[in-house]
Amino acid sequence: MDIPGFRLESLIGRGGMAAVYLAVQESLDRQVALKVLDQTFADDPSFSERFVNEGRIIASLNHTNIITIYDVSIVDGLHYISMEYVNGGDLKSRITKGVDNAHIVDGDDVAMAQGRDDAPLVEEALRECRVVCEGLIQYLKRDLTVQGLLDCQVDGGHATSADQAL
């Protein structure tokens, strides 16, 4: 497979519709993750549109915990999304492994270590964040899709999608 401007290094993973490769963006000499839509889906306009929309939706988001999209394109019939490469495995396997609670710092420890007198407020905020994150993790285990994430609603620490809530 040849995508102009990229040198494929290795296969990182494969899903139901696409494969992700570790690649080098040659113009900037940087490692990227290159998601390539499987050819069996590329000829179907609905899959093609969903793939391009996935890249555009993620590119419209700006947060430190969301990867950066560099490019979404179709070249010689190959649909690809070029994105920031983050070493450490895929999200699904990391969620499956679970969270190691030994690495979660207690809010009281953080606030006291910094000499803050608002330790109870910091601890309460962290506790609420943990509840929301645990709900999101349970949701992600069920629906690891971009549309599923966009449909996600958090209510009282429990994450549900619009269709599951009905």
Q: 137 and 155 share a domain?
A: yes
User: Of 68, 74, 32, whose CA–CA distance to 49 is shortest?
Assistant: 74
| Structural domain contains residue 161 | yes
Q: 53 and 25 share a domain?
A: yes
Buried b (16+ CB within 10 A) or exposed e, 103-132: eeeebeeebeeeeeeebeebbeebeeeeee
* pTM for this prediction: 0.59
Residues 56-113 pLDDT 10s: 888 888 877 788 999 999 998 899 999 999 887 666 666 666 655 444 454 445 545 4
Q: Cα Rg for the chain, rounded, in angstroms?
A: 19
Residue 58 · residue 48 · CB < 8 Å = no
Domain, as residue range, for 55: 6-84
